[in-house]
Amino acid sequence: MPRRIVSAVQHIGHRVIESIWRLGYASRFFILVLLKSGTSLRRFGLVMRELYFTGVLSLIIIVVSGLFVGMVLGLQGYETLQKYGSESAVGTLVALSLVRELGPVVAALLFASRAGSAITAEIGLMKATEQLAAMGMMAVDPVARVVAPRFWAGVISMPFLAAIFSVMGVFGGYLVTVVFIGVDEGSFWSQMQSAVDFRFDILNGFIKSCFFGVAVTAIAVFEGYDAPPTAEGVSGATTRTVVTSSLVILGLDFILTAFMFRGVS
Amino acid sequence: MQRTTMDLWVGLFVITGIIALMILSLKVGNLNVYNPSQSYVITGNFENIGGLKVRAPVKSAGVVVGRVTDIQFSTQTYDAVVTMNMDSRFPFPKDTFASILTAGLLGEQYIGLAAGGDEVMLKNGDKIMKTNSAMVLEELIGRFLFNKAAEDDSF
Amino acid sequence: MPPEVLIEVNDLSFSYDTRPILKGIDMSMRRGQVVAIMGGSGSGKTTLLRLISGAIQPTSGHVKFAGEVVHELNRDALFRLRRKMGMLFQFGALFTDLSVFDNVAFQMREHTNLPESMIRDLVLMKLHAVGLRGAHQLMPNALSGGMARRVALARSIALDPMLIMYDEPFTGLDPISLSVIGNLIRRLTDALGMTSIVVTHDVQESLKIVDYVYFIADGVIAAQGTPKEVRESVAPFVHQFVHGEEDGPVPFHYPAQTYQEDLKLEDTFA
């Protein structure tokens, strides 16, 4: 029995060492990507192509989800607020929850599962089919040519996607409460406008989405580049991208929120 | 996919994103570009600010004319020093009366300004002399009960 | 006078962790030669290619390419050197997100400032050389295995390298594609005056096209010679390999304890 306990403890220790090692390895890779970003910035066409795949192709899911999230928020908010006779504050509720939290967070979660997994799978497959090795043999650095453009495209897309998500959400809330239920349009907007502050709400939401963009794409490109060059390896890496980035998004959100809104309001 | 169509889509995407950010700032956040040169700062001492917070609006006749930028506690006078950033389009006389009011029964608190009749206007860095503290519910109830008791005595 | 020596491999050893893969390899390859490196699976052939291209560092010994010691070069110099090398990967390793044309044009666009019109002409010439000029608009996923490898061949000769390495170019091809690739290797080597190293275990096809053969077994050169010498060789290893015999110096059985011990047979039964 004691041997079993020892081996269980050993197992835990092994896992901890492994994860710390991996974290360090990922950080080194992240810095490497940043150092080798010169090519993508000089040849912006490379980033443009990836912007299409990460940004434009994620639009549909972002727009539709944003609309529905906003509509649900509007409906639920109205149900609750009308009990206190303050249904005109529903605009404030929808806008604040979207701009501060739901916009950046849900958009980032969707982005991780839509674009992040695609990035991992693509880089992982390029590695498995020796395309990255072939590139290295042609004296072209795969990190500069393949990884960095995808990274920057993700970083650029994320804030835009989050903003589009929030706007669609506000529109969805407006649609349900003002157009369908009949809340007064003037007070919907004016209450929202007096409650939402540019610096504390919108700018902070924007900053959050920038952080999420960096985190999600960094995880996605690392998992792809690090994936074992087999079919199971790539599929495992894709799953890890989605799981890890979702956890990182939520954890990071808490940390950022604590920093941003501490002492304010 | 043709290169040019891809560029077109990416262009559209970026423009949509920027428009979304602008809608958020202007329509949802009601961003007023506060230019420091177009505003002036005044302070006021309040005995009790209740639930007043930084960023609360300063209103006169219901119109927002400025915002609270800072709230400090003064150890000289043992009251609250509230700093307000005022829109320079709206100058106020020196004997303006500032009181802390509540929007509705449970709404947020703001500073209401009632203009006086002085010829001299408030300048940058000036102090409002006439202030009225926030209503504190306990005090109100206390005063009401005291008056009630006095009324009963008179019978 | 024989043509100059392009690649010199001197007493090259490589260990993976503590497991030796290559133990003191000596080779030399001249310009215009097609050299085959043969050996069983896992005998370190691919490792040898990776050492020549500078992708990994040898444990001892060195590889000289055009007079330069490969593993002593810094990163930039190594990348400059690699522009003089081409490599054909086992399954072509075409960039799946680029068309056939863009695949062949890839290196020209990355490493030269040629105008697009000239790149177009060059790409069509390279594709013509492998007989696929008509396929330049296709995407790699629309190509058969043999065609993909021909495109990859066109891509690796894009910048007229001095050396092309082929990692198992014959694997998984039908007989027609197989001889097409074989003949292309020979023809392009002669036409461009370069050197080709073919790593393979397809004995019959490669003996038809190569000038010299090295056999690698257990990390050392077990035999070498011209195709004629190899065919007539009586050395047991070469004979087994060339004729594909099941048992011989390369045993059928993986090293194990005796059969009896494994089956836990009692001595009385033995």
B116 touching A, CB under 8 A?
no
CB contact under 8 Å between A139 and C80, yes or no, is yes
Contact C73, C81 (CB under 8 A): yes
Please, is A2 exposed, middle or buried when counting C-beta atoms within 10 Å of its C-beta (0-12, 13-18, 19+)?
A: exposed
Considering only CB atoms, C93 lies closest to which of A122, A129, A141, namely A129
The residue with tokens 């300063």 is B58
Considering only CB atoms, A131 lies closest to which of C53, C85, C95, namely C95
What pLDDT was estimated at residue A159? 94
Asked, for residue C82, whether it belongs to a domain, the answer is yes
Q: What is the DSSP string of C148-198?
A: HHHHHHHHHTTT--SEEEEESTTTT--HHHHHHHHHHHHHHHHHHT-EEEE
CATH number of the domain enclosing C177? 3.40.50.300
Please report, for chain B, the start and end positions of each structural domain, with discontinuous segments joined by +.
1-31, 36-142
Q: Which residues of A touch B31 (CB under 8 A)?
A: 198, 202
- Distance to chain A for C55, nearest Cα, Å: 8
Are chains C and B in contact at 3+ CB pairs closer than 8 Å?
Answer: no
Tell me the residue range of the domain where C39 lies. 5-233
CB contact under 8 Å between B28 and A194, yes or no, is no
Q: Which of A82, A221, A219, A247 is nearest to A145 (CA)?
A: A221
Asked, for residue C151, whether it belongs to a domain, the answer is yes
Q: Which of C148, C40, C53, C60 is nearest to C104 (CA)?
A: C148
CB contact under 8 Å between A126 and C96, yes or no, is yes
A194 touching B, CB under 8 A?
yes
Asked, for residue C239, whether it belongs to a domain, the answer is no
Cα angle C214, C219, C223; round to 5: 30
CB contact under 8 Å between A265 and B20, yes or no, is no
Please, is A199 exposed, middle or buried when counting C-beta atoms within 10 Å of its C-beta (0-12, 13-18, 19+)?
A: exposed
Considering only CB atoms, B30 lies closest to which of A48, A163, A196, namely A196
The subunits that touch chain B, with at least 3 C-beta pairs less than 8 Å apart, are A
Considering only CB atoms, A130 lies closest to which of C82, C86, C93, namely C93
- Distance to chain A for B44, nearest Cα, Å: 21
Strand-pairing partners, residue C36, are C198, C213
Condensed to tens digits (0 to 9), the pLDDT of residues A141-169 reads 889 989 999 999 999 999 999 999 999 99
CB contact under 8 Å between B10 and A99, yes or no, is no
C59 touching A, CB under 8 A?
no
Domain count for chain C, please give it.
Answer: 1
Contact A159, C109 (CB under 8 A): no
CB contact under 8 Å between B13 and A59, yes or no, is yes
Task: With residue B142 as reference, give the H or E element that holds it.
Answer: helix B137-154
Condensed to tens digits (0 to 9), the pLDDT of residues B126-153 reads 888 888 877 777 777 888 888 888 877 7
C85 touching A, CB under 8 A?
yes
Condensed to tens digits (0 to 9), the pLDDT of residues A177-215 reads 999 988 888 888 878 887 887 878 888 999 999 999 999
Q: Which residues of A touch B28 (CB under 8 A)?
A: 95, 99, 166-167, 170, 192-193, 196, 202
What pLDDT was estimated at residue C268? 58
Torsion C22-C26-C31-C35 (CA) sign: negative
- Distance to chain A for C152, nearest Cα, Å: 10
Considering only CB atoms, A160 lies closest to which of B1, B13, B31, namely B13
Q: Which of C252, C250, C228 is nearest to C43 (CA)?
A: C250
The residue with tokens 């010829």 is B119
CB contact under 8 Å between B55 and A197, yes or no, is yes
CB contact under 8 Å between B28 and A163, yes or no, is no
* Helix, coil or strand: residue B94: coil
- pLDDT bucket at B23, cuts 50 / 70 / 90: confident
For A195, the token pair is 């409650």
Asked, for residue C39, whether it belongs to a domain, the answer is yes
What pLDDT was estimated at residue B107? 67
CB contact under 8 Å between B29 and A198, yes or no, is yes
DSSP 8-state secondary structure symbol assigned to residue B93: B
List chain A residues with pLDDT less than 50: 265
Q: Which of C54, C83, C89 is nearest to C158 (CA)?
A: C83
Q: Tens of pLDDT along chain C (270 residues)?
A: 566 788 888 888 888 877 888 888 888 888 888 898 887 777 778 888 888 888 888 888 888 888 888 888 888 888 888 888 888 888 888 888 888 999 988 888 888 888 889 899 989 988 888 888 888 888 888 888 888 888 888 888 888 888 888 888 888 788 888 888 888 888 888 888 888 998 887 788 888 888 888 888 878 887 888 888 877 777 777 777 777 777 776 667 777 777 777 887 766 554
Interface test with A, best of C87, C91, C166 (most A CBs within 10 A): C87
CB contact under 8 Å between A139 and C111, yes or no, is yes
State how far the Cα of B11 lies from the Cα of C78, in Å rounded to an integer. 39
Portion 15-34 of B in contact with A at CB < 8 A:
16-18, 20-21, 23-25, 27-31
